[in-house]
Each structure stands twice: as C-alpha cells, then as structure tokens.
Structure 1
Amino acid sequence: MSIDIATPELTPPRRRSLSRVAVAAVLALVVLLAAATAGIGWYFSGVAVEVTHADVYDLKILDSGDGTVTLPRDETTALPGTWALVWKTDRDKAPKNDRALLGPVVTATSKKVVRKLETNGVAAPAKGAKAFIDHWIYDSDPRQALGVDFQNVTYPSELGPMPAWLIPGRTFNGPWVIGVHGRNADKLETMRAIPTVHRLGLPMLSIAYRNDSNAPVSRDGKNHLGDTEWKDVASAIVYARAHGATGIILHGWSMGGAMVMTTLRKDPAFIRGVVLDSPVMDWNATLDKQGASRHLPGFVTDVAKQILERRIGIKLADFDQRPYAPQIKVPVLLYTTADDETVDNGPAFTFARKAPHGLVTHVETQGGHTEAWNVNPSAYETALTTFLTKIH
C-alpha cells in the first residue's frame, strides 16, 4: 500500500527575491516620505515662528523721470490708493534706501504700469533699482512723518522695559487707544491710524512687544503667534491705567488682532472696544491657507501644524475666535480685504455673523493684507472716526 504525500508548492527563489525587493522598496519609500514630510513640516512650522525684520525688494524699477515711475505690472503695482515706493540706492557709496509717495496710475499695459511719483526732493530712482511697495507708507516717527507730537516711552513687562510711542490727547484722563502691530512688523504699521485718533483728541500708545527691534527678546527668540505676546498688551494696559486711562480701545493689525482678541478673552475688564485690521481669527485656517499657497499637500500642512504646536507649546485650536463670538460684550470694528493672501478671512466673516447683533461693524474693502487704509484712506478713517466717537 502506498501513501501519496502532498508536497507543498514552493515559491520559486527568484519570485521570493523579487517580493522581498518590492517590500523593501515600499518600506524605503514610506520612510523617505515620512522623513520628507517631517522635514517639510519642520521647515514650514519654522517659517511661522521665525522672527525677521528684513525688507524684501521684490520689484525692479523699469524706468523713472518727469515725476513718474514705471514698474512691472502685478496685483500690487496697479492698485489704486495711497502707497509708498521704497528703493535701494548707492548714494554716498553706501547701500541705503529712499522712498516716495506712489501716486495715481497714468498708463498701464499688461506688462507694466506708469504711476505718478512724489519724491519730495529725493532723487528719482535709477532704472534697474530694486524696490518694493510699502503699505505702511511712513518710515520715521510721528513728528517727522505726520507732524504729530509724541513721546518715546517704555512700559514695564515681564521681560523688561518695552518701547512705545505715546501720542498725547487733549487729556490723559480718559480712554486711550493702544496700537498693536502684526507679526514681524513694528510700530510703523500703526501710523496709518494715528492721525484719526489724534484728531479725536484721544491718547494713543503704539507699542513694541517681545522680539521687536530694540525690544527685549523672549527666551527662545520665536514668535508664539500671540500666545505669549498678548501679555505685553496686558502690560501696556497697566501702563495706560497708571497714567490716567479710564478705558482702553485696542487696535490690532494681523497677528496683532489675534493678540487683541486673546487679551479681550483673558483680561477684558478695562477694554471698551477693539479694532481689528485683517486679523488672524483662526491660526489653523490661516496656516492651511499658507500651506495651500506653497502647494503643500494637506497632510504635510497638518504635520507642520503639529510640529509647530510642540515647538512653541501651544494648541492652535485655542486661537479660533469663532466660538467666542456669541460672548462678545464690547463693540468691534472689523476690517477685511478681498485679496488677502496672508490670512484666511473666512473665520472673521463667521465671527461677525455669530457675534451679538449690532456689536460688530464689518468693513469689507479691496486690497491685500492690512491694506484697507491704503486702498481707501477716507473710508477707513471715516469708519474709525465713527466707531471711536460712539464708544469713547
């Protein structure tokens, strides 16, 4: 009697070898993808927290003369409104820059735009000079730029004395406006609001905060997206109270808006109202927008956000202002711009809808990030005047 024993089918040696190679290749790709994702995420998160005060000269002067300047046409150079043109010069054989007021468009084609240029005695820019358009307009102090008297002061903070400009009002005993600039900006960003506040006779404290030029540096030297910076706003409020303020209106630009909202949530007692100019109302949404503009896949941006949270010890969800909107108890003036490529406006619109009826005045304009004033200074100042007059 014979018994047939079934022999198991063996995988040919070459097939086994190919299978192992394929598995190894997949694992290698997974490792490489994970490493690449982590690396890109680390870099992107670093961009968000980096402190830099360098100017970016992203234009080249095509021609100038007879009170005009010719620039490459893009979304910025053809915009109506009030702007400054800043350009590099080798005057006196040392790299410097000059600036002038950029006037109305004279002519424009698909590739270039010719605008009036009010140089006020400064030599016209040379053909080929590197330049950029500055929506802050001014590069000097309130007295030189606006003819408005001011004092250089310091206010105490947990990191040491912080510099600020104090623009007197008719009296120091009354409501004050505190101007809070945005990420990697400085007090110059607040200059566009100073004339309106000054005309109303209100004192204005335009503050620097941690990691600004000539200000104390935080331990890690990084932007914390308002999570720690808001404490400097709170310190400025203490300073204002000690010098006569009976109430505070906070005016914040971009990340300064996030700082203003955090201050309002954490220390609201002395705040009468807030002005928000292109504010970051949700960091998650804004970082998603920034990731998309860099063509990053969503999962890479998500990794970057997780890395960012660990790097600076925050929870991005804590900076979503929309859930707080129904609890708002003070008036809010909100400016948003249609072409803001820096901050996601969606959360600001939602915030305005969810706030109690009548508390949020929402002014929608054309222009880019924090450029509502530049596109239409008169409309901006009218809205600000009406708002401040009602609440002070």
Structure 2
Amino acid sequence: MTTLSITDRFDSGNIIVKDASDPQAISLEIRRDHRSDFFQWFHFRVSGARDTALSMRIINAAEAAYLDGWTDYQACASYDRETWFRVETRYEDGVLIIDHEPELDTVWYAYFAPYSMERHQDLIAWAQTHPAARLDVLGDTLDGQSLDCLTIGDGDKSIWITARQHPGESMAEWWVEGFLTRLLDDADPVARRLREAVTFHVVPNMNPDGSRRGHLRTNAKGVNLNREWDKATPENSPEVFYVLEAIRRTGVDLHLDVHGDEGLPYNFIAGGEGAPNFTEADGAMLDAYKSALEAISPDFQTTHGYEVDAPGSADLSICTNYMVNEFRCLAMTLEMPFKDNADLPDPLHGWSPDRCRKLGAANLDAMLAVLDAI
C-alpha cells in the first residue's frame, strides 16, 4: 500500500505538515517569510493519493497577510507542473480547506502557478540568444543569486520593466515571459518598431531569494522590497539598490512594475497620482496608457483598482510613487489576480500562466500607442 507523502522540499516550496494520518483531515500550516510575519504563498507536493479523496486544511489561514485573498479563491493544482487547474477550495472559520481527489500518483498544489528559478534560468538563456538582447548581472542578492537584467533594442527612449518584487506573485514572471516572447519576435511589426525606438531593460525577477525560499512578500532578510525605493541599501535591499543604480545610468522614460493582487479579481494599473511631483501631463499619459491597453485586451479594465492617493500624500518608499517623483517618467504598477478575472472568468484554470503571457504581450501595443508622448 502506498504511503501518503507531503513535501515542500523544492524550489519555492512552502508548507508545514502538522498531521497527514487521515487523508480526509490533513492538517497543514503555511510557513512565514524568514524574519517576517508575512505569509500566504503555499506550494507543496502530495504523493500516494491516486483515487483518494483529500481534504487538506490550512489551519493558520486566518493569520495570513491578506484575508480578502481567501474570498472566492480556488487553489491551483497540476500533475505535470505545466498545466495548472483550479480545485475546490473554501474558507471556513479561519481555515482554508482544499478538497481534491487526484487522478494520478503525485499532484502539486500552489497558491498560484509557480515560476521556478530553473524556469527563470531557461528564460534568460533563451532571451540572450537573440541578436537584439544582452544579459547583464546588476549585482548579487543576499543569498548570492544573480540579479539578472535583459537589455533589448537600441532606441533613444528607455523603458524599464521590473517584476516579482514580491516573490509569491509568480504571475508577474509569467507576464514577463509573454512580454519577452513577443518583443523578441522578428516577425512582429510592433516589436520591431519598438526595438528601433526604445532600449528596454527587463528585470524578470526582482526577488530571486524570496522566490526560491517560498516567500510571499520579502527577500532573504525579511524586507519588503516595495517599501525600499527611497532608502535601499546593499545590506537590506540590494535588489532595489542595484536596479536604481542602473536606472540612474540609463535614464528612464517609462517604468512598469508588475505585480499580483490577492484580493481583487481584476487586472488593473495603479499610478503615482499622489506623488508630490505628479502633474496633469503625467495623469494624461497614465490615462492614455490604460485606455490603450483596455482597448487592446478584454482581460484589462479601468473600473476596479486601488483608491487613488490624495495629491502629495503618496508613500515614496513604493516603487511607482518613487519613480514618477524622482525621474519624472510615466511610472505604473500593473496588478493581476490570484483568483480569476471576474469580467472574463475561466472556471477550469482561473487566471492562468497563459493569460498572464497574453497580457504581457498586449502591453507592447500599449507602449507603441504612447511612444511619442513619453
């Protein structure tokens, strides 16, 4: 008889097994980010459960970072780690309960489809083979990993893309994969035009350490990178420090920071309207970009999003606020859901890697639409 086995001992794994003696009452906890109280990301493997009804209870879900994230949430599962589908999930009395009967011997469960550091290596290796691309290491992380940056094109304008400051927001690197795949497509006229006019600087993963460790929000030291932009240091937040050093060398006309949102079931963009230096012209450019993307992709909308900060009240430790204020560029935060796009739902897959990639590709059209204005 096969013994039930649950493990998180792999890249981005995160789960604590409290009791797995009864498949119908498996008790689990999510591990907190190192030196931090943040947690919500989970990723684990279950073996020996073919044709066995599982009820997996994450008993510390009520202490997670974003309780709104559990409302109408469905966990991700995969047999091959390529195709991820949603499974029955409910939040009751402070416990997240995942019910599933695996059809095969081993199944992986995750908060969202993971983007492994191994896949990251494959992505940058593939991208650097294109004649228009160059791969640079901006510096080393606290765990000694490389902070990779792809430079693409040779135009006068400078566009920076950063993704996955929060490592559990793996949809951000799926987005980058779609963005790069189209940008490096020599048969795509939009990509060719943009590469002539723009030099792109793309950091596919701002937080390699947190990604590998299975963190939700912080780096190896427990620091939230998206609260470090006005005070980054090599000791606490080398990831932000080295990116800012590079931006000061290259200049920047447009900066897009790619994230995922636990609670809102929509794709949306947040701007830096509350930054002291934000102007009416900045607002017009921001609106033009959002309108262009909304016209291109039915998966993007402008009705739902974050409340706009009052003028002059923005937190300048946050990337987009800092960038628009310091560099006077078009700076934006693009958010994608952990759940599904409520405007265009897919009950089987929810918001998925494929849809992330397609939204990433669609942003090239939006960039072309505002190219003359930035």
TM-score, normalised with respect to structure 2? 0.43
Richer in helix (by share): 1
Pick 1 or 2: higher relative contact order, CA cutoff 8 A, min separation 6.
2
Q: Normalising by the residue count of structure 1, what TM-score does the alignment of the two structures yield?
A: 0.41
- Structure of greater Rg: 1
